[in-house]
Every structure is written in structure tokens, then in C-alpha cells.
């Protein structure tokens, strides 16, 4: 139902898009110059992560409204922080989380929000995890979000937290 507004290239052959593990340690300290490439298909090849300020505070605020209107009746916010959330999503591309939420949530009416609302709700989930806001809006397309890797604030960026076995 929602067509991609525009298809910009996001992956370039030969471009090391997946260097998150080592680059994230540096990325955690570096604030990338934000000329707003994120709207146009992602910054060209840097390993941007959610530690870099990939959403705006205003977006997270909007996301909080969406969450309380649409998600909170099934999910306590505690579902999306710490050990119940971070181990399964650390190192995943933001696009994966976006697509899952957009195509499967709300569980009883998937896809019923618009893309900006889904992006906002992800921004809110990131904020819940103490990830920093920045001056770029989180793009509302999976193509663009593929450029961002989910990372949480583990000191030194030293990899994913330990993975407990899934409960269910």
C-alpha cells in the first residue's frame, strides 16, 4: 500500500557496509557531520549506528504518543529495553526492526500506521534505551534504514551483550 517514495541506492558493491563491530567503537565517539544524507539513502558507506544520533527528539516525542495510543495496550515499555530487547536487536540493521514493526504491528492491525509513525515509534524505542537524539530524522524507509546498525550503549562499543537463551 505504501510505495517507496524514491529509490536511492543504498548498497554499493565493494563498499564495506558491514564493519559495524570494529567501527562502532569509533562511531560511538565520533559525531558524523550531519548534512542530512540519511534522508537520501543513508550516509555513503559509514557504519552509522544508533549511537550516532539517528533520530530527533521531536520524532521520539511523536513516537511516544503513537506508542501510548497504539502499542501500550499490549506492550509495557519494559518489553523494549534492557535484557528483554537489546540482545535480540543489537547489531541488526534498523531496517529489520522497522520492517518487522511496520508489517506485523500492531499485532491485530498490521501496517495501519503510516511510515512516519513507524519511524517515530522506533525513535521512541531507541530513546527508551538511552540512545542519543541528533539533528537528523530517522528515515521512514527500509532502504534508508539499512544504512544504520542498532547498537546500544555498551561501554567501548565492545560488542553485543551476552545473549540469554530465548524464553519462548
Taking CB under 6 A as the binding criterion, the range among 8-16, 68-76, 126-134, 140-148 that sits at the site for ligand HEC is 68-76
Told to check if 99 binds ligand HEC by CB under 6 A, we report no
CA distance 87 to 70: 24
Beta bridge partners of 48: 148
23, 71, 138, 140: residue in contact with ligand HEC (rule CB under 6 A): 71
Told to check if 96 binds ligand HEC by CB under 6 A, we report no
CA distance 85 to 89: 7
> Closest CB to ligand HEC among 6 and 74?
74
Told to check if 101 binds ligand HEC by CB under 6 A, we report yes
CA distance 13 to 158: 27
With H, G, I as helix, E, B as strand and everything else as coil, classify residue 45. Answer: coil
Minimum CB–partner distance for residue 88 and ligand HEC (Å): 5
Q: 126 to 165, contacts with ligand HEC by CB under 6 A?
A: none
13, 73, 130, 156: residue in contact with ligand HEC (rule CB under 6 A): 73
> Closest CB to ligand HEC among 8 and 85?
85
Cα–Cα–Cα angle for 115, 117, 121, nearest 5°?
Answer: 120
CA distance 9 to 94: 17
Give me the numbers of helices (H) and strands (E) for the chain, helices first please. 6, 2
18, 74, 82, 158: residue in contact with ligand HEC (rule CB under 6 A): 74
Told to check if 121 binds ligand HEC by CB under 6 A, we report yes
Q: Is 14 exposed, middle or buried (0-12, 13-18, 19+ CB in 10 A)?
A: exposed
Where do contacts with ligand HEC occur on this chain (CB under 6 A)? 70-71, 73-75, 79, 85, 88, 101, 105-108, 121
Amino acid at each position: 500500500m505504501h510505495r517507496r517514495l524514491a529509490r536511492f541506492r543504498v548498497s554499493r558493491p565493494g563498499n564495506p557496509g558491514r564493519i559495524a563491530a570494529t567501527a562502532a567503537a569509533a562511531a560511538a565517539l565520533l559525531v558524523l557531520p550531519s548534512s542530512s544524507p540519511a534522508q537520501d539513502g543513508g550516509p555513503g558507506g559509514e557504519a552509522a549506528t544508533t549511537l550516532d544520533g539517528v533520530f530527533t527528539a521531536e520524532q521520539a516525542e511523536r513516537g511516544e504518543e503513537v506508542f501510548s495510543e497504539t502499542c501500550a495496550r499490549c506492550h509495557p515499555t519494559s518489553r523494549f529495553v534492557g535484557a528483554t530487547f537489546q540482545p535480540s536487536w543489537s547489531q541488526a540493521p534498523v531496517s529489520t526492526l522497522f520492517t518487522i514493526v511496520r508489517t506485523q504491528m500492531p499485532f491485530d492491525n498490521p501496517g495501519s500506521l503510516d511510515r512516519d509513525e513507524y519511524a517515530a515509534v522506533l525513535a521512541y524505542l531507541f530513546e527508551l534505551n538511552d540512545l542519543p537524539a541528533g539533528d537528523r530524522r530517522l528515515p521512514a524507509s527500509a532502504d534508508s534504514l539499512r544504512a544504520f546498525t542498532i547498537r546500544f550503549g555498551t561501554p567501548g562499543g565492545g560488542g553485543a551483550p551476552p545473549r540469554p537463551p530465548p524464553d519462548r
